Amino acid sequence: MTLSGEELAEDAVRDVAPPSRLRVVTRRFFASTQGRIGFAVLALMFLLAFAGPLVTPWSYTDKDFTAFMQPPSATHWFGTLQTGSDVFAVTLRGMQKSLVVGLLAALVSTALAALVGAFAGYFSGWTDRWLSWVTDLLLVLPAFLILAIMSPLFGAGEWVLFVVMLALFLWMVTSKIVRGMTISLKQREYIQAARFMGVPPVRIIARHVLPNLSSLLIVDATLNVSAAILTETSLSYFGFGIQPPDVSFGTLIADGSRTAVYAPWTFWFVAGLLVVTVLAVNLVGDALRDAFDPGARGRR
């Protein structure tokens, strides 16, 4: 089959066309050792958390009244608690809850930071002053104390409210960075041209400002996952986060710390999984930052 000159030209252009930014970032990410390790470990943690309960005969609500505080065995792979609960089952349930809380809180906080920072930087004037005042106010408020006071509202089944409240105290610093970058971006020629053409400000922010901040927002969302997980763990440890009968990393560590000396399986399995999960998230975040900005590693 003979190709026409126009088809040959199109094939030539397609062959020399530069790869998309997503493909370049993905290649850089998986080219780094920490990116591959972090992604593999994090994927394994998610697989263990959500597929693990399918391979165990025990549920996190089940009680074995013939095995109290038993060490790991063929029947109970991670041992049992004082209540007869299977440690493997409750640990996976706690990992599920902590991962979901961390992901949702990170997404909500990053989205809030993007919107507040972009609108404050683009509109300036009273909009900037009011939004900056709210941001500064939330920065000085004692987040831990406020969440502790509101903990009675985080009863069983109300963990979504806990996620929202947690996200409200994670976005302020990123919002200030987004504001500064937006002030710089709105002076660019293509944004000035869009303004002169009468394009609505909201559309300019959505189509021109936020896409240019995508690298910052993606990295921030990734790193906020580990921050949200650790914050949730700390709050739940003191009884101010996820409430019984549900469990999370924090509640399990709080319960296991009382018996860690003479029954280490009640504490060290969940503590180890928490450390590995947070470490994997941080590795992914660092690798993403280097992939978006190759010069960042050298500067650090």
| Whether the Cβ atoms of residue 166 and residue 233 lie closer than 8 Å to each other | no
| Whether the Cβ atoms of residue 249 and residue 268 lie closer than 8 Å to each other | no
Handedness of CA 83, 88, 93, 97 (dihedral sign): positive
Q: Which residues contact 285 (CB under 8 A, 6 or more apart)?
A: 219, 222, 223, 225, 226
Residue 153 scores a pLDDT above 80: no
Nearest to 279 by CA among 41, 31, 32: 41
Residue 156 scores a pLDDT above 70: no
Q: Which residues contact 101 (CB under 8 A, 6 or more apart)?
A: 159, 162, 163, 166, 228, 229, 232, 242, 248
Residues comprising the chain, all counted: 300
Nearest to 62 by CA among 89, 92, 91: 89
Distances (CA, A) of 80 to 87, 248, 266: 5, 17, 7
pLDDT for 183-239, tens place per residue?
A: 988 888 888 888 888 889 899 998 888 888 888 898 888 888 988 899 888 888 888
- Whether the model clears a pTM of 0.85, i.e. scores above it, the answer is no
Residue 139 scores a pLDDT above 60: yes
Q: Which residues contact 72 (CB under 8 A, 6 or more apart)?
A: 78, 79, 87, 265
Phi-psi map region of 84: left, alpha, beta (phi>0 left; psi -120 to 50 alpha):
left
| Whether the Cβ atoms of residue 147 and residue 235 lie closer than 8 Å to each other | yes
Residue 147 scores a pLDDT above 70: yes
Residue 298 scores a pLDDT above 80: no
Q: How far apart are CA 270 and CA 246, in angstroms?
A: 15
* Residue 244 CB coordination number (10 Å): 10
pLDDT for 82-105, tens place per residue?
A: 888 999 999 999 999 889 989 999
Distances (CA, A) of 172 to 245, 278, 281: 32, 22, 21
pLDDT confidence bin for 16, thresholds 50/70/90 = very low
What does the chain look like in DSSP terms, one character per residue?
Answer: -PPPHHHHHHHHHHHHPPPPHHHHHHHHHHHSHHHHHHHHHHHHHHHHHHHGGGS-S--TT---TT-SSPPS-SSSTT-B-TTS-BHHHHHHHHHHHHHHHHHHHHHHHHHHHHHHHHHHHHH-HHHHHHHHHHHHHHHHS-HHHHHHHTGGGS-TT-HHHHHHHHHTTSSHHHHHHHHHHHHHHTTSHHHHHHHHTT--HHHHIIIIIHHHTHHHHHHHHHHHHHHHHHHHHHHHHTTSSS-TTS--HHHHHHHHHTTTTT-GGGTHHHHHHHHHHHHHHHHHHHHHHHHH-THHHHH-
pLDDT confidence bin for 151, thresholds 50/70/90 = confident
- If you average pLDDT over residues 29-55, what whole number do you get? 92
pLDDT confidence bin for 114, thresholds 50/70/90 = very high
The pLDDT value given to residue 87: 92
Select the more confidently predicted residue: 278 or 24.
278
pLDDT confidence bin for 8, thresholds 50/70/90 = very low
